[in-house]
Amino acid sequence: MTTTPVPTERVGFIGLGTMGGAMARNLVRAGFDVTVWNRTPGRDTDVVALGAHGASTPREVAERSDVVVLCVTDTPQVREVLDAPDGLASGLRPGSLIVDCSTISPLATQEFAAQLGEVGVHWIDAPVSGGSEGAERATLSIMVGGDDADVARAQPVLAAMGSTITHVGGVGAGQWTKAVNQVILAGSYLAVAEGVTLGLNAGLDMTKVVGALSGGAAGSWILSNRAQRMIDNEYPLGFKISLHRKDLGIALALADHAHTSLPLARMAAAFEDELIAQGYGDEDNSALARVVRGDVVVPGDA
């Protein structure tokens, strides 16, 4: 009879939003001793009810953990969590490992890793993809940048949160990969929205059409999981437009850094800016279809 080894590393988790809350719960279910903290009070209720320990500061998380997972919104929040009074940096010990699942600048990632490396703290960047469904089901795709030994050490933690874990290179490579991911998603959402809108305007039963296309060359995760929202013109949250726009901002800055033209991503960014301006920023990213359907008009395209 094979038994599952009991995790020995104590895990901290900071950032209990739509993605992070589900990821932290899966770590508790996997048997880890988990300590959590969130900027907004009250977001830790579910994970604490499962058996996690609540902390009052990031420093307390660091002091009670061997590995700390971050899942916050952006680069400034990572910096604040690290460097604020009672921040993570004040409680980390030599040998501690940071696993940053936030989506932030890879250039800032390398800065943070170098800063903490001076005091013996290790860092891997491990941004995720798969939406709220993947976070709940522990089926996220995780793109990992870091030293081989650090990635190997983090493997049990990552495996509790995702099903596809790929070590893509050194520190920062995970964030570069996530930028590529978000650029591809931008074009994919727009392409599916255009196809759905064309079919609707032609009077087709688009639910049947999507079923027919999903098994062929046009098949994709977005077609299978988001086309129905575009057909219904209803966009319950999976991943916020405002967060994807933040990610595209990182990708577009990196494109300038790498002397790369991204015309489709820039178009998607302009569409998302208008959606956010008109109050749709908290809807799922599939609400890009509102622009294609003509419900939201982007200035200059009227």
Catalytic residues: 178
Note the maximum CA span of the chain: 67
Among 190, 267, 250, which Cα is nearest to 222's?
190
Among 137, 101, 131, 151, which Cα is nearest to 25's?
137
Residues β-bridged to residue 166: 143
SS (H, E, C) 144-206: EECCHHHHHHHHHHHHCCEEEEEEEECCCHHHHHHHHHHHHHHHHHHHHHHHHHHHHHCCCCH
Instruction: Let me know the angle formed at the C-alpha of 136 by 169 and 5, rounded to the nearest 5 degrees.
Output: 70
CA 22 remoteness from chain centre:
12
Residues β-bridged to residue 11: 34, 67
Alpha-carbon distance 14 to 115, whole Å?
Answer: 19
Q: At what angle do helices 106-117 and 173-201 cross, to 10 degrees?
A: 150
CA atoms within 13 A on the CB side of 275: 29
Coil, strand, or helix at residue 37?
strand
Query: How many residues comprise the chain?
Result: 302
Give 36's DSSP letter: E
Whether the Cβ atoms of residue 134 and residue 68 lie closer than 8 Å to each other: no
Alpha-carbon distance 8 to 53, whole Å?
Answer: 16
Read off the tokens for 202. 């032609």
